[in-house]
Amino acid sequence: MSTLPADLAANPRLDLWVRVDDDGCITVRSGKVELGQGITTAMVAIAARQLCVSPQRVRIVSGDTALAPDEGQTAGSQSIEQGGAAMRTATALARGLFVAEAARELGVPATDIKTEEGWFFAVGRNDRCSYWDLSARVDLALDVTGLEPAVILAGAVTPPARIDLPGKLAGTMFIHDLDLPGMRHGRIVRPAMARARLVGFDRAAIEALPGVLAVLRDGDVVGIVAARDDTARQVAKRAAELLRWDAPPAPPPMSEFHDWMDDLPANSRVIFDETTCVPAAHRYEGVFARPYIAHAAIGPACAVARWTDGKLEVWTHSQGVFPLRAHLARALAMPQSDIIVTHRPGAGCYGHNGADDVALDAALLARAAGAPVMCQWSRADELSTAPAGAAMRVSVTAEMDADGRITCWDQEVFSPPHFARPSAAPGTALLSAWSMATPQAPAIAQQAGFPPGTGERNGLPLYVVGARRLRHHLLPQGPLRSSALRSLGAHCNVFAIESVMDELALRAGVDPVRFRLAHLDDPRARAVIEAAATMADWREDAPGGEGVGRGIGFARYKNSSAWCAVVAQIEVGERVRLTRAHIAVDCGEAIDVDGVINQIEGGAIQAASWTLIEEAGWDSNGPRARAWEDYPILRFGDTPDIAVRLLQPADAPPLGAGECVAGPMAGALGNALRHALGVRVRRMPLTPERIATAIEQEGS
């Protein structure tokens, strides 16, 4: 059977996905984990539909190396595309096995069995039996590869209210709420600059600090353990004053358009090359950039570890329990089979933050303490030691003929790593592993095929632009540690593309919406642009200037996933404020319409924050942001009005929606600023200082 969803084909034992409990419920298991995107609720809705039970009867276990299927990372807006498809087929197959057994039991052909709320009825008769009556006789411990194809029921059940939220408010659901018997609290005491060498360590002095139960030293990794979290926080601060570090060489200085990128070794690739550009009537050249952007979760990275007879259990909010287990095994030089990794929700992560790192920290501290340990990171660690989203520089050259048709497009992308998660690649992706007594090499930054790509993601316009070229220069070692942040390179690539589209439209004397439509033959792309323009009551002659403006941005995420168009309205006063956003998205069938809209709204506000105000910088002492006051994000006073419309074409399979809005929002904001002030700002964030510089440069 070749049509099995990939995640199910890779984990073909059906009881890994579905088990009938003996209390009137059914437990389903998913490798996709709850990151605040509502995935567990959506999975329950999918399973309930296929099992023909109400969602209240479905329990879910997700992210557990001992209990649940291995579905890799929960990332890239693929949880529903891949994990949802696997869950749907697995639960449909399970129902099929029960229907067959019910037919035998009731003495009718399977086609005469009707299933409702967990009961199997023989059509036209009164007999019935249930999942729970039959469960002893139906063996789910089998390989699905040999089964008849699943009969997938169309439609979806209305998802219940988010199943994870009540426990989160009750203080029972987050990893920070876990309390194992005898559990202690630990902290790693880190240097200001990553990979500094420890040159002054006085164990006795640290042990003498009041409240210290254990001290960890493994190479350059130092930590303390205390009975309570507050004691651990205080002790860690005092211990930090007792350590001496030899800082590594200072990073190259920051610069507006990332000149430091020119001096770094690069892995350069030509992703796409149709031909070289032939000069036409108009040429536009521009260099665009974004800074490093912090993930900046509201809650600290946290993990709990417990050692029993040389075996390790870890509780984590990592996006991938199996990859994390593999890297813990590398760092601790032990077999994976001696480690169990279980997911518990943390604060929203938006990509690869410190969640994986802190799991190793907890394991090291628990080993030193001889007791289970919860390790949390400080706010400073969260902002300075976790990977940031990579800085980018994107150069675009486009040619347009005298009729206003784009004839070629050349895009060149420079970026440090956008992907350095735990994965199958060599090296270890866990921070402390690099500084232990037996140090591990850091994981190699990875490139992916295109699409989706990493730094070059969305570097090819979806527009019909004649000959296209795309090049990517991956800089493995940037001045800050970087890895996956929601949407990867799409945020800056789409910002560049959409800025250039507006500049070309201006030179062609054509309205930006019409100009885009004239360069698109993909009907679903046209539909979202038209929808967003209609929602926003787009007028070709809308006056700009006077500090207000509107702009449009569009992209198809990864050139292969959801289509999204944004019309942004802004006000420019002391700073740029997004006042209203109209957003149209086509992500195929939505399992949970409100859940998808929630994702898009959140993604839109976060992307507005990145684009307008965020910048993770550094100086000769390392990362500059160590507290929220150093790293402002969009606040409640700047809440925009947001309207989202989902276009749901019939029979379109679901596509992830969590990341599709980042690029279009950035493009729409840049274009709205151009409309408001008549100036093109090419470097994010779009702060008053950058606007002033851009005005000066255009004037000169």
Partner 1 sequence: MSPSVLLTVNGHTHELSLAPGTLLIDALRTDLALKGTRHGCGEGACGACTVLVNGIAVQSCDIAAAECAGAAIETIESDAAAPVAAAFLEFTAAQCGFCTAGIVMTILAWLRGRPVPDRAELIGKLDELHLCRCGAHARILRVADALVARPVR
Name the one range near partner 1 by CB under 8 A: 2-10, 150-158, 464-472, 605-613. Answer: 605-613
Q: How far apart are CA 193 and CA 44, in angstroms?
A: 44
The contact mask relative to partner 1 for 429-468 (x = CB under 8 A, - = no) is ----------------------------------------
Q: How far apart are CA 608 and CA 170, in angstroms?
A: 31
Q: Which does 637 bind (CB under 5 to 8 A by kind): partner 1, ligand FES, none?
A: partner 1
Q: How far apart are CA 341 and CA 317, in angstroms?
A: 10
Q: Does 177 contact partner 1 by CB under 8 A?
A: yes
What order of strands is seen across the sheet that includes strand 58-62?
A: 18-20, 26-30, 58-62
- Taking alpha carbons only, the member of 317, 41, 308, 297 closest to residue 176 is 317
Q: 491: which residues sit within 8 A by CB, 6+ positions away?
A: 290, 389, 392, 607, 610, 611, 662, 663, 666
Q: Which does 598 bind (CB under 5 to 8 A by kind): ligand FES, partner 1, none?
A: partner 1
Q: Give the one residue of 162, 344, 468, 558 binding partner 1; rule: CB under 8 A.
A: 162
Q: Which does 162 bind (CB under 5 to 8 A by kind): ligand FES, partner 1, none?
A: partner 1
Is the omega angle on the peptide bond into residue 685 within 30 degrees of 0, that is, cis? yes
Q: Does 603 contact partner 1 by CB under 8 A?
A: yes
**CB of 513: closest distance to partner 1 in angstroms?**
24
CA 142 to chain centre: 33
**CB of 599: closest distance to partner 1 in angstroms?**
7
Hey, is 94 helix, strand or coil?
helix
**CB of 36: closest distance to ligand FES in angstroms?**
5
Measured between its terminal Cα atoms, the distance across the chain in Å is: 67
Contact 617, 632 (CB under 8 A): no
> Which uninterrupted H or E stretch holds 6?
helix 6-10
Q: Does 598 contact partner 1 by CB under 8 A?
A: yes
Residue 237 or 244: which CB sits closer to partner 1?
A: 237
Residue 5 or 603: which CB sits closer to partner 1?
A: 603
Residue 36 or 452: which CB sits closer to ligand FES?
A: 36
State the residue for tokens 């929601």: 486
**CB of 459: closest distance to partner 1 in angstroms?**
25
Residues 25-44 that bind partner 1 (CB under 8 A): 35-38
Residue 136 or 161: which CB sits closer to partner 1?
A: 161
Helical H segments across 429-511, by residue range: 490-508
Q: 692: which residues sit within 8 A by CB, 6+ positions away?
A: none
Q: Give the one residue of 97, 297, 492, 548 binding partner 1; rule: CB under 8 A.
A: 297
Residue 299 or 544: which CB sits closer to ligand FES?
A: 299
Contact 479, 458 (CB under 8 A): no
Residue 11 or 376: which CB sits closer to ligand FES?
A: 376
Q: 537: which residues sit within 8 A by CB, 6+ positions away?
A: none
Residue 34 or 101: which CB sits closer to ligand FES?
A: 34
Hey, is 30 helix, strand or coil?
strand
Residues 330-369 that bind partner 1 (CB under 8 A): 345-348, 350
- Taking alpha carbons only, the member of 348, 346, 339, 345 closest to residue 314 is 339
Tokens of 629: 């006051």
Residues 631-660 that bind partner 1 (CB under 8 A): 633-637, 639-642
Give residues in contact with ligand FES (CB under 6 A): 36, 298, 348
Give the Cβ contact number of residue 542 at 10 Å: 14
Q: Which does 635 bind (CB under 5 to 8 A by kind): partner 1, ligand FES, none?
A: partner 1
| Residues contributing to the site for partner 1 (CB under 8 A) | 35-38, 161-162, 164-166, 168-172, 174, 176-177, 179, 228-231, 233, 296-300, 345-348, 350, 376, 378-379, 594-595, 598-599, 601-606, 609, 627-629, 633-637, 639-642
